[in-house]
Amino acid sequence: MPCLIVANTRTDEMVGDLATMSPLERELGAISALRLLWYAQAGDVVVLPVLPQPEFLAYLTAHTGVDPDSLVLLAPPPGALGAGLLSPDRTADPDFRERLLTAVRQQSVTDVLVVYKDLPIVQLAESVGLRLPGHAFSAQGGDAILNSKAGFRAVAAGSGAPIAPGLTTTRPAEAIELVTRLLAAGDSVIVKQEFCSNGFGNEILSPADGVRMSGALRVVVLSDPPAVADYFAQRWDWLTLGGRHQVVIEQYFTDCDTVYGEYLVDEDGPHLLGVGELRMAPVPVSDIVPAPALPAEARTVLVDAGIRMGRAVHGIGYRGSFSTDAVLTPSGEIFLTETNARMSGSTYLYVVMRDRVLDPAHRSSRVIWNAYDWLVPSFAEAVHKLAETGLAFARDTGTGVILTTDQLPEGTVGCCVFAENMQSAEAIQRQLATLFGTAPITGYPMPDDRTEELQAHGA
């Protein structure tokens, strides 16, 4: 049946205060949100921050097999933060809601798919006569509890999932005491904002130089207790967003791989979609499914922990996509680091790229490497070059490259590499890096003004 799809990929409860995002970040978010079009099937109504370029829509639907003329694509008028984000004031616009209601009725929409179920989105669905999965839980703000890094630690500990030693607190004295103790023992520490994604709200504290940074934007060396106290005096406001949130403090394990489990929690409970690996430099730059660095024993620990947490959130009424991030230590231990009670940037790799785009004969035997930032002259030139060099995805072989986003403002596109094994995937990545004389696909698209904003706050 037709579905209402809402591409609300940026919310306060996912990335922190939307008002602090730079104009370029918002523009990046708008183009990235077009990735939700990969989920669209015939007759769906899709709400986006901005409408796609016809060229990108034609390319995408050629791979999904959907007639683009069967889709209804809507974007509300710009709001106080512009047109880059589906901010609450945009989705509440009366004229937009009237247009949406008309489209939902004309298309006979019965289902809803959203990235994140916060109260504005619950209300949007209700305004057109629809209810989100897990409505009762989400309508009371429950999803925020599960997306909170503090809430994660409580649910993980209560369900018996392995987590790093640490605590959540609203008191600077507790933070100073724990960090001082861990640093004195020679351990490093990671401190996290309660609501922020991709490591942008994290910092690593170390007793000495030389710590490899992963999952954070900087390392701070604190050599003695007064330095720890001074750090929190300077950074407390940033860590708590002006005292509005808790601070999460955990022991930081060095030289780890970052892995995750992806699940769907429906009326029957949690169901595993798959496991993957995030490549970090120092924040996520790509992800690979299935996870190549995950030994069988560690995979079992990761999945068992995710299923236990999935059962816990199912029991309190959550329904929808659910993922568990973890670190795999050099000794083979698994420690969960956060959960996402929402669609993650990896969900579509399973739901769409594996289970729709790939032929059934290839679904269990292909590596999918999802890269975020291939620098290209233009989207059209990238499509042409892939076809010219024989690197474009071919359904009959289940190998090749698909562009997953239109060109972002800083000149990059997202892309998925499909290959028979990791060796072949790496070879394709090396080829991509030479097509336009660009550097290998390893960096994260960090706009200059975002870097300046972080530095202005002391990062």
The predicted-structure confidence for 329-355, as pLDDT tens digits, reads as follows: 999 999 999 999 999 889 999 999 999
Residue span(s) of the chain under CATH 3.30.470.20 come to: 255-340
Q: What are the tens digits of pLDDT across the range 429-456?
A: 999 989 987 554 544 334 333 334 433 3
The DSSP annotation for 261-280 comes to EEEEEETTEEEEEEEEEEEE
Q: Check pLDDT > 70 for residue 13.
A: no
Phi, psi of 250 (to 5 degrees): -140, 150
Closest residue by Cα to residue 306 from 321, 285, 291: 321
The CATH code that applies to domain 366-435 is 3.30.70
Q: Is 453 buried (19+), middle (13-18) or exposed (0-12) by CB count in 10 A? A: middle
pLDDT in tens, 46-76: 999 999 999 999 999 999 999 999 999 999 9
Averaged pLDDT for residues 249-277: 96
Give the helix/strand (H/E) hosting 367. Answer: strand 367-375
Query: Which residue carries 């420690």 as its tokens?
Result: 335
Second CATH level (architecture) for the domain 255-340: 2-Layer Sandwich (3.30)
* Cβ-contact 172, 236 below 8 angstroms: yes
φ/ψ region of 224 (left if φ > 0, alpha if ψ in -120 to 50, else beta) reads beta
Q: Measured between alpha carbons, how far is 58 from 102 in angstroms, rounded to an integer?
A: 25
285 burial type by CB count under 10 A (0-12 exposed, 13-18 middle, 19+ buried)? middle
Q: Which of 23, 1, 3, 15 is nearest to 345 (CA)?
A: 15
Span(s) in the chain for CATH 3.30.70: 366-435
Is the distance from CB of 379 to CB of 56 less than 8 angstroms? yes
What's this model's pTM, rounded to 2 decimal places? 0.89
pLDDT tens digits, 109-162: 999 999 999 999 999 999 999 999 999 999 999 999 999 999 999 999 999 999
What pLDDT score does 22 carry? 79
CB 195 within 8 A of CB 146: no
Distance CA 257, CA 330 (A): 8
Who's near 260: CB < 8 A, 6+ residues apart?
Answer: 275, 276, 277, 278, 287, 291, 302, 323, 324, 325, 326, 344, 346
